[in-house]
Amino acid sequence: MTTAHWLFGDQLGPHFLAPAAEGPGRDAPVVIIEARSVFRRRRFHRAKAHLVLSAMRHRAAELGDRVRYVRSETYREGLREAVGDAPVTVHHPTSHAALRLVRSLEQVTVLPPRGFLVPLTEFHAWAEERGTRRLRQEDFYRWVRREHDLLMDGDDPAGGHWNLDHDNREPPPARVDTLGAPAPYRPREDAIDEEVRHDLDRWEREGVARFVGRDGHRRFPASRREALAALRRFTEHRLAGFGPHEDAMLAADPVMSHSLLSSSLNLGLLHPLECVERAEDAWRSDKAPLNSVEGFVRQIAGWREYVWQLYWHFGDDYRDSNALGHHAPLPDWFLELDADAVTARCLATALAQVRDTGWTHHIPRLMLLGSYALQHGWDPRAVTDWFHRCFVDGYDWVMLPNVVGMSQYADGGRMTTKPYTSGGSYVNRMSDLCAGCAYRPTERSGDRACPYTTGYWAFLHRHRERLAGNHRTAQAVRGLDRLADLDELLCRARDLGDAPP
């Protein structure tokens, strides 16, 4: 009999079953395990729990008689119920914990990972070759573009430049509430979603699991068919406008021209190669300008791939990094996504987006939510856990580098050259969120001082010594000496404390 193949809940696309030398056998029976312990352990966003369960059950429905779908307390129990002690194969899972588990099970053969562009061994060789030099995302990205012949004209980057970021950092257009991009794809719920909603309601009633955030109509694809429709909608109608305002924020237009494809990629419903190839096709057939297409390819072939590689490269104890010695617990209003308690319009808006949808784009994540946590010295491990639980696209591999490294600078600069945080003037320049806010981005002390402006200077002051020695932050630190109201500002920062700003 053919060896059964086990699919984790983030291995749901056809490429995880495609037969190959190191893949499952053609027509191998499939096992999918819905382990309740995952939901008992963490208080996930309701929309995320719904999406993951819906996607797993949609995959099971597609596979029909080929799949044994087991609902159990743990993965171990589920596997036993599905195949007893018969051998199974599984593709390399996406977290250290899951890899430890499958390696500890004698009956399981672990096959190489799928769903990424660069094999782990090739990245390892690339990193080794660089010796003691810092690993730079830009170098990695260019290497991936060459290796995969992405957006290349022979040996040169298409259009003559590798990096078109200078065209992609514009503030939002003046005097508009929305970018006016065509609407993103919205899935329709079906009977599987109804069953999932019913189960989650029951789990909550019976105390099996507790959730955070609001339930609502499912917004993200749960099947390959839906994910392909979302990709098509994006590349045909929205990609052209992706680039210029990639970093901008508009209160009434949370999605702008972003793709909303992260959850589909991370569930394994889409392969990154098909996403970047379709984007390149759009450019080659004059349907989207190069800056937008390069920006999108950079996000997927550059950032996403790099983050995946760094997760394994840095190892499991990376999660315990805490170079800045931040230990404050997250306050309840943040944990509960209580946006209504927050006065600062930018933070209230981002927190409400998370509460209502489990998603915001990268700038609210980095420069509003993450930046606030960093300025207030919240424990990076708890911040990582919060992001992981509250975002529909959050998984261990993608959270650790993005939150521990990029957002909280807890690794002391292994991933980025400086901490990402700013005062209110950045938010004011890149969004319409300061208009109508009770605070003033230019004021750093006093009752109307913007909490981000106060927090920024207080953060620089707290880590003055370390940041003075970093050429990218030294000048900002020198600015502290010119502040006549530093004492008043630090008082204001203390007064803000844990309360919602």
Residues within the interface to ligand FAD (CB under 6 A) = 258-262, 265-266, 296, 299-300, 303-304, 307, 361-362, 365-366, 370, 387, 391, 393-394, 398-399, 402-403, 406-407
Sign of the alpha-carbon torsion through 381, 93, 360, 415: positive
Residue 7 has which token pair? 């699919």
Minimum CB separation of residue 263 from ligand FAD in Å reads 7
Give the CA-trace dihedral at 327, 405, 412, 424, to 10 degrees.
-70
Residue 388 has which token pair? 């992981």
Minimum CB separation of residue 60 from ligand FAD in Å reads 24
Closer residue to ligand FAD in complex, CB, 54/259: 259
CA 135, 137, 138 angle in degrees (round to 5)?
115
Closer residue to ligand FAD in complex, CB, 5/245: 245
Cα separation, 426 vs 173, whole angstroms? 15
Cα separation, 115 vs 146, whole angstroms? 19
Cα separation, 120 vs 124, whole angstroms? 6
Closer residue to ligand FAD in complex, CB, 6/314: 314
Minimum CB separation of residue 332 from ligand FAD in Å reads 21
Query: Which residues neighbour 116 within 8 Å (Cβ) at sequence distance 6 or greater?
Result: 272, 305, 308
Closer residue to ligand FAD in complex, CB, 54/94: 94
Closer residue to ligand FAD in complex, CB, 9/370: 370
Minimum CB separation of residue 419 from ligand FAD in Å reads 12
Minimum CB separation of residue 394 from ligand FAD in Å reads 4
Minimum CB separation of residue 261 from ligand FAD in Å reads 4
Do residues 456 and 419 make contact, with C-beta atoms less than 8 angstroms apart? Answer: no
Closer residue to ligand FAD in complex, CB, 251/373: 373
User: Amino acid letter at 137?
Assistant: Q
Do residues 366 and 406 make contact, with C-beta atoms less than 8 angstroms apart? Answer: yes
Greatest distance between any 2 Cα atoms in the chain:
78
Closer residue to ligand FAD in complex, CB, 79/260: 260
Minimum CB separation of residue 378 from ligand FAD in Å reads 13
End-to-end CA distance of the chain: 62
